[in-house]
């Protein structure tokens, strides 16, 4: 049985919710961990498995898992992120994500690509469309300026991939630096490849060429960095705190290259 099928099974949903509510014993949690639930943070063993599954073993050192036990799973060919009703906050938000702090310099061109699987039973925030993100690039403190996280004032990500339903049609969209949102329908129940070809800059020389399944879809131009220090990628799910839906999404075939 595939992990996404297991996650959607009613009995397993009950188990997941019970894990979150602390209804299971420590021994049960240990057994579940041995079967694929990932531990939180920089656990070297978990990150090694994630890097291998995503086909980027060289990026293990720049990875950080922002998902608690019961919210991230690995299989032979993918990592699956889950969020549940009444999910507890982590780092101040409702999230199950993997951070990849890939370095680059101002003005450089970096190409990010990954495959994402959205299952057929994925439920959206119908009628409200509150924010819900599958991928984002986030700013971070610039050590050359002695910045701290307190200096960033909770900035929104300058580039993100979000999910949204329009006229009862499921789709995702690309958000670019607060001035443009591009939405398009996608099929659930199949793998799709998303490629973000980005020239990073703090002025109008910035650019994003977005492609879906190797087809060029949209070009965005203009500033895409909030400071001069490289922004890091996060994949998984991060959503509005009042969305109470059990959902999961899977990723594989990550590639990041500097041109």
User: Distance between CA atoms of 125 and 132, rounded to whole angstroms?
Assistant: 9
Given a contact cutoff of 8 angstroms between Cβ atoms, the answer to whether 129 and 239 are in contact is: no
Q: Among 21-30, 90-99, 212-221, where is mean pLDDT lowest? A: 21-30
In degrees rounded to 5, what are phi and psi of residue 14? -60, -40
Q: How far apart are CA 84 and CA 87, in angstroms?
A: 5
3-258 under CATH 2.60.120.200, yes or no? yes
| Better-scored residue on pLDDT, 162 or 92 | 162
What per-residue confidence (pLDDT) applies to 9? 46
Which residues, 6 or more positions from 21, have their beta carbon under 8 angstroms from its beta carbon? none
Q: Which residues contact 247 (CB under 8 A, 6 or more apart)?
A: 82, 83, 122, 123, 237
User: What are the domain boundaries of the chain?
Assistant: 3-258
Task: Say what the pLDDT of residue 66 is.
Answer: 94
Residues in contact with 248: Cβ distance below 8 Å, sequence separation at least 6, in sequence order: 4, 7, 8, 80, 81, 82, 83, 119, 122
Q: Is residue 32 over pLDDT 60?
A: no
Residue 179, C-beta contacts closer than 8 angstroms, at least 6 positions apart: 222
pLDDT in the model for residue 20: 38
33-69 pLDDT, tens digit per residue, is 333 445 557 889 889 999 999 999 999 999 999 998 8
Contact 142, 229 (CB under 8 A): yes
DSSP 8-class letter at 41: B
Q: For residue 156, how many other CB atoms are within 10 A of its CB?
A: 14
C-alpha to C-alpha distance for 195 and 12, rounded to whole angstroms = 33
Strand partners, 199: 109, 207
Its pTM stands at 0.85
Please give the Cα distance from 160 to 54 (Å, whole number). Answer: 20
Q: 182-204 burial string, b = 16+ CB within 10 Å, else e?
A: ebeebeeeeeebbbbbbbbbeee
Q: Using CA atoms of 185, 187, 190, 193 in order, give the dihedral in degrees to the nearest 10.
A: -10
| Res. 79: pLDDT tops 90 | yes
Residue 101 is predicted with a pLDDT of 97
| Confidence band of 23 (pLDDT split at 50, 70, 90) | very low
The winner for highest mean pLDDT among 10-24, 31-45, 62-76 is 62-76
Nearest to 3 by CA among 259, 250, 254: 250
Main-chain dihedrals φ then ψ at residue 164, nearest 5 degrees: -160, 145
127 vs 40, higher pLDDT: 127
Closest CA to 73 of 38, 43, 113: 38
> Does the pLDDT of residue 150 top 90, yes or no?
no
Residue 103 and residue 143: Cα distance in Å, rounded? Answer: 13
* pLDDT surpasses 50 at 187: yes
pLDDT at 152: 83
């Amino acid at each position: 049985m595939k992990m996404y099928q297991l996650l959607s099974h009613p009995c397993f949903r009950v188990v997941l919710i019970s894990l979150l509510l602390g209804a299971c014993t420590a021994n049960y949690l240990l057994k579940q961990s041995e079967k694929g639930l990932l531990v939180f943070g920089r656990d070297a063993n978990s990150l090694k498995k994630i890097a291998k599954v995503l086909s980027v073993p060289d990026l293990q050192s720049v990875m950080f898992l922002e998902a608690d036990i019961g919210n991230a799973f690995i299989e032979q060919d993918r990592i699956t992120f889950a969020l549940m009703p009444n999910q507890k906050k982590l780092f101040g938000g409702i999230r199950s994500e993997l951070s990849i702090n890939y370095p680059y310099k101002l003005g450089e061109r970096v190409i990010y690509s990954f495959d994402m699987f959205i299952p057929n039973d994925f439920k959206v925030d119908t009628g409200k469309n509150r924010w819900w993100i599958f991928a984002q690039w986030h700013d971070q403190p610039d050590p050359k300026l002695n910045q701290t996280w307190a200096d960033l004032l909770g900035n929104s990500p300058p580039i993100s991939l979000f999910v949204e339903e329009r006229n009862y049609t499921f789709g995702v969209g690309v958000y670019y630096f607060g001035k443009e949102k591009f939405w398009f329908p996608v099929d659930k129940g199949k793998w799709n490849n998303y490629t973000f070809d980005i020239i990073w800059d703090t002025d109008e020389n910035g650019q994003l060429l977005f492609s879906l399944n190797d087809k060029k879809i949209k070009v965005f131009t203009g500033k895409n960095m909030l400071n001069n220090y490289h922004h890091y990628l996060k994949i998984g799910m991060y959503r509005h705190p009042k969305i109470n839906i059990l959902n999961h999404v899977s990723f594989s075939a990550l590639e990041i290259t500097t041109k």
